[in-house]
């Protein structure tokens, strides 16, 4: 069965938010390593989280310069992160992630 672009885009956003919230990948390079997605896709996905009302902000590390820091989820909006955790394998399989 062919998966729609809408579903894969939605799942990609959920998975990226979950990776950030769980602390497994909190930077663009870490997201790239965890998912295999290109830099631009990772950046676009981060920017698109606000379309789902997920409040994700870049936090500058104290005393650091040149955008040294990490992303943090401040609010999930209407998304239930427990659903993501319960369906994580299905999400990863749909996206083709290990």
Our count of domains for the chain comes to 1
Task: Tell me which residue of 41, 23, 26 sits closest to 97, measured CA to CA.
Answer: 41
Residue 81: give its domain's CATH number: 1.10.10.10
d(Cα 5, Cα 57) in Å, to the nearest integer? 26
List the end-to-end C-alpha distance of the chain, in Å, as a whole number.
19
What pLDDT, on the 0 to 100 scale, is given for residue 64?
A: 63
DSSP state of 72: E
Residue 52 has pLDDT above 90, yes or no: yes
> How distant, in Å, are the alpha carbons of 16, 18, 57, 85, 87 from that of 41?
11, 16, 17, 22, 22
Q: What is the pLDDT of residues 16-44, one digit of tens each?
A: 999 999 999 999 999 999 999 999 999 99
By residue range, what is the domain housing residue 82?
A: 5-95
Residue 3 has pLDDT above 70, yes or no: yes
Residue 88 has pLDDT above 90, yes or no: yes
Tokens of 97: 């992630």
């Amino acid at each position: 069965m062919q998966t729609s672009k809408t579903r894969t885009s939605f799942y990609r956003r959920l998975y990226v938010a979950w990776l950030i919230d769980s602390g497994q990948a909190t930077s663009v390079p870490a997201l790239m390593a965890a998912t295999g997605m290109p830099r631009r896709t990772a950046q676009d996905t981060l920017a698109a989280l606000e379309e789902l009302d997920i409040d994700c902000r870049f936090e500058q590390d104290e005393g650091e310069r040149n955008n040294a820091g990490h992303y943090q989820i401040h609010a999930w909006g209407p998304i239930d992160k427990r659903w993501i955790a319960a369906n994580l394998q299905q999400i990863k399989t749909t996206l083709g992630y290990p």
